[in-house]
Structure formats: C-alpha cells, structure tokens
C-alpha cells in the first residue's frame, strides 16, 4: 500500500505504508539514534510528533514486552528508509508492522530519510501528515493548517491520572509526572527509593503531604509555556525540599526561578549529544529529546553547570541557596551508555545531605 508524507511547506515524499492505514498528523522531527527505536516510540516526550529515524535500517531486532518506556506509544507516525520485516532477536515477540497495527499507528517506509532530515535541519521542524487515503498535496496542506491551529495540552495527555506508589525502603521521592519514562522509575527503584508518582495536576500541598525526601520533576512533551499552571505550582515548593528537574521539568523549573525559554530550529533528538560539565571539564555523551531550551540568564541565584558543546545551549544548572539541580538531558539507562546515570546518584547525595542538615 502506498503512503504519502506532506509537510506544511508543501514538500512531499511518496513511499510505502506499514502499520495501520489512515491519515495521521503531527510535528515532524528527526532522531539520530542507531538503536532504541522501541524506547523512542513509547517515550511520552514524543507525544504529538511524527518521528523520522535517520538510521537507515529499523526493526531488525523487533519489538518485545520489556523495553517500553510507557504503557503505550505516543507518537503520531514513524518514518524510516528501510524496514526489516523479519527481525532476528530471541527477545522479539513481533515485527514493526504488527506492533504499529496493534497500536493503530501509521508508518511510511522506502523514502529518502537523509533528504528529509536535511530539509528539517535547514528549515526547522514543521507539521506534517502521513496518509494512505488522500494523495492531493493541496488538500493535505489545508488539513495540516487546520489541525496545527488546535492547541493540545500534551503533558495532560501523558501524565498519570491517579497517583501510585512503587514501594521501597530508601529515600522517599515524589515524582511529578509530566511524562515520566519507565527506565527512570526503574533506576530509582534500583536505588531502593520509595517512589510516589503524582499527576501533573497535583497541587504543592498534595506533593508535600507525603513528606518526600526529594521531588523529581520529570521530562515530558511540548512547550513549557503551554502549562503555566504547573510552573506556578513548582514555585510554591522551591526551597522546601530538594528538587531534581529533567527535560521538560528542567525547563519548567527554570521558568519558575525567573528564566525564559526559546524554541530550537530542529531540536535535540538522539543519544549522542556532547555536554560539558563546567565545574570538572568533563564531557558527557547524553540522550536528549526536546525542542525548547532555557535562556542563559535565569537569575542571580542560579549557576549554569552544563553546556551543549554543539550549540552552547544550557544543559544544567544548580541553585546557590537551595538543594536544586536540573538537567536538560536524561540519565540514560537504556542505550548502554552510563555517562549520565550520575544524575540520580547526585540527587541521592543531595537528599542524604539535606536529611542530615
């Protein structure tokens, strides 16, 4: 079955469909990871987006029941050059086509993903649509324009609706769920944390009522300025408990402390972004997924600790007075790189020191 990809600027790519037929709209972004496609597809931070995988062969190790970052995929579509129909991996339970059909997601294959990624790099991320039903470019562009005017609360779509607990005997961590990845919860569980996952709508009073040793503000999808009510809630528990911000949580924490954000042309999506620790001079290879970043001038109480080597954007900060640390990148427990797992260890140390202060 044929499928077409149309971007909002009129650029088109014709290929073949896999997964569920239909018409799917989203923001088209490219990801540079060579592996980890299942984790990417199920990462809540990709809610509302159509993902272009720049690595030319996808699906060769299949899909399984253990590597999901959430209970379902949140992407709006998947774009690949070559799709492997017969995966070779003892853990695989299905191929990409079956996985996408099971979750009602459309994919397009056999297109020039290198050309597409270069186009997005040169012109920035843009909205697009994959369709197996309509191949008239003008009609699809009009549909893209209409759908792009609809404002969605992407964080609210991925956050847990009800609080839940992952019991442990160590530090009690309140996780404000803006789109938490399962691997981060697993990493906290390995550290024996008593984890309380709370909806993004939770009030400061509800968060502090469990008397946590620390608060983790998770990553998630979308523009941080689309959820000002969450920023206002964060302001109310600053200075009360140790705080760790990650991804979107990092941006919202920066906004709550008086900073500002702006949108990158084509974002950071991949597992090979070099980040320099200003205090030690060490460079970490990090996993990232975001379109927005903090501006450097946050407040006089903030010290920038990490920069992105490629574009000098802010990747981390700490507070001079309060036990607050924040990072744009993720503690990567999936790709095999342990460069950034120190983030959670640092958070554990801060909670321990604060507890004995």
As its CATH architecture, domain 2-150 has 3-Layer(bba) Sandwich (3.50)
SS (H, E, C) 79-105: ECCEECCCCCCCCCCECHHHHHHHCCC
Residue-by-residue pLDDT tens, the chain, 357 positions: 999 999 999 999 999 999 999 999 999 999 999 999 999 999 999 999 999 999 999 999 999 999 999 999 999 999 999 999 999 999 999 999 999 999 999 999 999 999 999 999 999 999 999 999 999 999 999 999 999 999 999 999 999 999 999 999 999 999 999 999 999 999 999 999 999 999 999 999 999 999 999 999 999 999 999 999 999 999 999 999 999 999 999 999 999 999 999 999 999 999 889 999 999 999 999 989 999 999 998 999 999 999 999 999 999 999 999 999 999 998 764 444 455 578 999 999 999 988 755
> In the chain, where are the structural domains located?
2-150, 155-355
Q: Please tell me the class of the 155-355 domain.
A: alpha beta
Rounded Cα distance between 169 and 307, Å, is 35
Map tokens 């809610």 to a residue.
Answer: 47
pLDDT at 353: 87
DSSP E strands, the chain: 2-7, 12-19, 23-31, 49-53, 57-58, 77-79, 82-83, 106-109, 126-131, 164-166, 172-176, 194-198, 214-217, 243-246, 261-277, 283-294, 302-308, 314-319, 324-327
CA 273 to chain centre: 14
DSSP E strands, 193-312: 194-198, 214-217, 243-246, 261-277, 283-294, 302-308
């Amino acid at each position: 079955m044929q499928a077409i990809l149309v971007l909002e600027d009129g650029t088109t790519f014709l290929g073949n469909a896999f997964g569920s037929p239909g018409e799917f709209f989203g923001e088209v972004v490219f990801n540079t990871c060579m592996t980890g496609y299942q984790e990417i597809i199920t990462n809540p931070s990709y809610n509302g987006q159509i993902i272009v995988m720049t690595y030319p062969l996808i699906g060769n190790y299949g899909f399984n029941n253990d590597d999901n970052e959430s209970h379902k995929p949140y992407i709006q579509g998947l774009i690949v050059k070559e799709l492997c129909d017969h995966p070779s991996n003892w853990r695989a339970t299905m191929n990409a086509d079956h996985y996408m059909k099971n979750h009602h997601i459309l994919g397009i294959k056999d297109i020039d993903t290198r050309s597409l990624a270069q186009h997005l790099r040169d012109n920035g991320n843009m909205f697009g649509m994959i369709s197996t039903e309509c191949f008239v470019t003008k009609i699809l562009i009009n549909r893209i324009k209409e759908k792009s005017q609809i404002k969605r609360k992407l964080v609210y779509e991925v956050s847990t609706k009800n609080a839940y607990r992952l019991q442990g005997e160590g530090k009690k961590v309140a996780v404000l769920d803006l789109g938490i990845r399962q691997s981060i919860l697993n990493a906290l569980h390995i550290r024996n944390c008593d984890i309380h996952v709370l909806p993004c709508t939770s009030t400061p009073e509800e968060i502090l009522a469990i008397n946590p040793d620390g608060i983790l503000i998770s990553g998630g999808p979308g523009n941080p300025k689309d959820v000002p009510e969450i920023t206002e809630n964060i302001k109310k528990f600053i200075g009360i408990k140790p705080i760790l911000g990650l991804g979107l949580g990092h941006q919202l924490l920066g906004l709550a402390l008086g900073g500002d954000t702006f949108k990158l042309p084509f974002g950071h999506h991949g597992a090979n972004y070099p980040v320099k620790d200003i205090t030690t001079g060490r460079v970490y290879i990090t996993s990232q997924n975001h379109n927005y970043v903090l501006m450097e001038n946050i407040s006089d109480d903030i010290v920038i600790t990490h920069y992105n080597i490629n574009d000098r954007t802010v990747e981390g900060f700490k507070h001079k007075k309060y036990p607050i640390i924040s990072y744009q990148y993720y503690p990567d427990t999936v790709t095999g790189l342990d460069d950034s797992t120190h983030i959670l260890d640092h958070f554990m140390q801060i909670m321990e020191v604060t507890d004995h202060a």
